[in-house]
Amino acid sequence: MTDYKMHLLICGGTGCKAAESDEIKKSLKNWIDELGLEDDAQVVFTGCFGFCEKGPIVKVMPDNTFYVNVKPDDAEEIVKEHLLKGRPVQRLLYTDPVSKKAISDSKGMNFYKKQLRIALRNCGFINPESIDEYISRDGYMALGKCLGELTPDETIKEIKDSGLRGRGGGGFPTGLKWEITRNVESDEKYVVCNADEGDPGAFMDRSILEGDPHSVIEAMAICGYCIGAENGLVYIRAEYPLAIERLKIALNQAREYGLLGEDILGTGFNFEIDIRLGAGAFVCGEETALIHSMEGLRGEPTFKPPFPSVSGYLGKPTNVNNVETFANIPVILNKGASWFSKIGTEKSKGTKVFALAGKINNVGLIEVPMGTTLREVIYDIGGGIKDGKEFKSVQTGGPSGGCLTKDFLDTPIDYDNLIKAGSMMGSGGMIVMDEDDCMVSIAKFYLEFTLEESCGKCSPCRIGNKRLHEILENITNGNGKEEDLERLKLLSNVIKDTSLCGLGQSSPNPVLSTILNFEDEYLAHVNEGKCPAGQCKALLKYEIIEDLCTGCTLCFRNCPVGAITGERRQPHYIDQSLCIKCGVCYEKCKFNAIRLS
Amino acid sequence: MTKIKTVADLKRIKDEVQSKIKLRENSDHPEQIVQVKVGMATCGIASGAKETMKYFVDELEQQAIDAVVTQTGCMGYCYAEPTVEVTLPGKDPVVFGYVNKEKAEEIIDVYIKRGELIDGVIPITFKTIDD
């Protein structure tokens, strides 16, 4: 076994590779060989560190020295000074922007602290099918503490003091919800876990249930103790088979240990949890529709009030919380409300999990303290935009949210700031778009989703969204007029004001926010008949640039509809009336002689 | 399984489990015991984590390398699935991305057996509540 004393990790992500990290690696290796250190130090490429702003990155292990903006010429100094003499190269260290001090150990960097895992604390750490591993990480200790040492009111006070707000989207204070449900007199109450994650692109609830199901079970039992319920229900979509399987295993283990059932931990408290499968309708994430679906009725929302806290499942007081909200509870009780409330912003405490997707390098699941900016999430953690393209917009909050421009990149993310910016937190889907995305088409895409998912009970949502979609369809087909923008806004506001439930009230948000932030793109569609991003096929025109065309006949031979004519070695010509805009000629042409306009 | 009847029982189990894991770490032959965790959430499985895990279990057994292979949830690096975390005794855990059969073979041959790192390490960029 070769016993290397040092490892030099060099970033092999796209950004750093573009900045010559290949050369740096070669150079480091040469110097290591030259000085005879090849048995002591090893150079390896790693995946993206995410800190592309300061790339290329070289990290020296085991002392965690983090070098930024490294150039191939710096290799000599790193090897001679650091590896040979053990003196880190000061000028290449990261300087903290606030304190102006050079930081050597990457664990002391703010960048490393940008992600803090609370709800995801056990995901990717423990075996989700082993209750013992959960217990070894303080599992069920919070339940034990509540049942043994705290009254329900004291527990609720702790949750209220922590400042935890619902992670499903609305952001209602969790402790307050528990208190309201507790204060309603009833012979029977229910705890419901909303695992009907429906936002396109969001998968944090699934990941928590797949990676750490016991944290949700423990929190539901604590909630039951607080509000006075003996029964819990998890409403989960049937499309999540693995999450369901792991949850079932976890429930059985908890029952075998007596952590669910009767007389839990000898305190006389009884609690049992059942699973209810949903068919995966978006509207069933709305709590009244969810409850109806669990009762065996159609998954349609009803008017609030009465709120579920007063009259919910089977007409009994019901406390509905989202998976991620529950996953935070045991940590808050173990570490204390004051620990939790130190994290985040004034009105949004703790962390939020985001599912990063779209045109971003590091697609994945991240958890950041509230108040982190979009720029930090997209550029530092997400590693920036794919293929070095220009950032255009980020969509947060799923079909109920909105699209934010680069003007909002430095806005700290929390519930209130996102609403002020015209979007919302939602469940935490974050879809990044680049210069090639057409915002009108994006709005149309989200509307298509709500159109399909609308339950059809109230007319503003059922008919209004259909009309909105028709107008957008016209615009993307090149038949839009400038007046359409006003009609879109008017209709959107009517739908928002008059729909019955959250789905309809928020469905026009993608339309409104794209008109607000990208009005010029709409105007280009309706006034000039152009799609600036080049996505709306009906507005595109493929043309042959005569000067560049060599008459190779490749496009002519590949055109599926025979729209291209021309003699060999003579410039060709596209008949626009026949062209179906499939783009084959554009892809096949070897001389860049086909232009999109 | 015995029932946990009191908070003291719970703490006892916690200590037991922890000492078991400690034992794993500080056993008599630390150079022989390796921990491999395979990310087995939907994202991982969709990218072939099941085959990767099976390969690790079979191959480590066949080569008589004393190792514990377990599954775990989503580590968050969905772009690089399947992801595998390998902890050599006395060393910090290292996460590898895009671990298919070939990569798994390389991990066993180069990292687990010889202690040399290989390309494709994924830097951990988050803090946990224990930090």
The pLDDT tens digits for A65-104 are 889 899 999 999 999 889 888 888 988 988 877 777 888 7
Question: From A43, which residue of chain B is nearest by alpha-carbon distance?
Answer: B117
pLDDT at residue B40, as a whole number: 92
Q: Which residues of A touch B115 (CB under 8 A)?
A: 1-4
| Residue pair B70/B103 in contact by the 8 Å Cβ criterion | no
Q: Which residues of A touch B113 (CB under 8 A)?
A: 1
For residues A105 and A170, membership in a common domain is answered with no
Q: Which residues of B touch A216 (CB under 8 A)?
A: none
For residues A218 and A309, membership in a common domain is answered with yes
**CATH code assigned at A361:** 3.10.20.600
Q: How far is residue B113's CA from residue B60's CA, in Å, rounded to a whole number?
A: 10
pLDDT at B26 over 80: no
CB-CB under 8 Å, B123 with A59: yes
B47-72: pLDDT as tens digits:
999 999 999 999 999 998 888 899 99
Could you give the dihedral angle defined by the CA atoms of residues A393, A396, A402 and A405, in that order, rounded to the nearest 10 degrees?
Answer: -20
Strand (E) positions, A41-138?
41-46, 58-61, 65-67, 94-95, 102-103, 115-117
For residues A210 and A299, membership in a common domain is answered with yes
Question: From B7, which residue of chain A is nearest by alpha-carbon distance?
Answer: A144
For residues A387 and A506, membership in a common domain is answered with no
Percent of chain A's residues with pLDDT above 70:
99
pLDDT at B30 over 60: no
Q: How far is residue B57's CA from residue B70's CA, in Å, rounded to a whole number?
A: 9
- For all residues of chain B together, what is the average pLDDT? 86
Q: Which residues of chain A have pLDDT under 70?
A: 1-3
Task: Write down the ipTM of this complex.
Answer: 0.84
Name beta bridge partners: A278.
A237
pLDDT at residue A105, as a whole number: 77
pLDDT at residue A245, as a whole number: 94
Q: Which of A338, A363, A397 is the last residue of a domain?
A: A338
pLDDT at residue A259, as a whole number: 96
Q: Which residues of A touch B35 (CB under 8 A)?
A: none
For residues A27 and A42, membership in a common domain is answered with yes
Question: From A134, which residue of chain B is nearest by alpha-carbon distance?
Answer: B14
Range of the domain at A207: 131-338
CB-CB under 8 Å, A50 with B123: yes
pLDDT at residue A1, as a whole number: 47
For residues A210 and A300, membership in a common domain is answered with yes
Phi/psi class of residue A201: alpha, beta or left (left: φ > 0; alpha: ψ in -120 to 50)?
Answer: left
Within B6-131, where are the H helices? 7-25, 42-46, 49-62, 101-106, 113-114
pLDDT at B118 over 70: yes
Question: From A136, which residue of chain B is nearest by alpha-carbon distance?
Answer: B14
Whether the CB of A564 is below 8 Å from some CB of chain B: the reply is no
Cis omega before residue B82 (within 30°)? yes
pLDDT at residue A159, as a whole number: 97
> Per the CATH hierarchy, to which homologous superfamily does domain B33-122 belong?
Glutaredoxin (3.40.30.10)
**Model pTM score:** 0.86
The partner residue sitting opposite B127, judged by closest CB among A112, A141, A253, is: A112
Q: Which residues of A touch B127 (CB under 8 A)?
A: 112-113, 115-117
Q: If residue A276 lies in a helix (H) or strand (E), which one and from where to where?
A: strand A269-278
Chain B residues 89-128 within an 8 A CB cutoff of chain A: 92, 97, 113-123, 125-128
Whether the CB of A64 is below 8 Å from some CB of chain B: the reply is no
CB-CB under 8 Å, A135 with B14: yes
A533 found inside a domain = no
For residues A447 and A313, membership in a common domain is answered with no
Percent of chain A's residues with pLDDT above 90:
61
pLDDT at residue A297, as a whole number: 94
What is the number of other CB atoms lying within 10 angstroms of the CB of residue A400?
A: 25
CB-CB under 8 Å, B117 with A206: no
A409-458: pLDDT as tens digits:
999 999 999 988 888 888 889 999 999 999 999 999 999 999 999 989 99
Q: Which residues of A touch B114 (CB under 8 A)?
A: 1-2
For residues A366 and A258, membership in a common domain is answered with no
**CATH code assigned at A475:** 1.20.1440.230
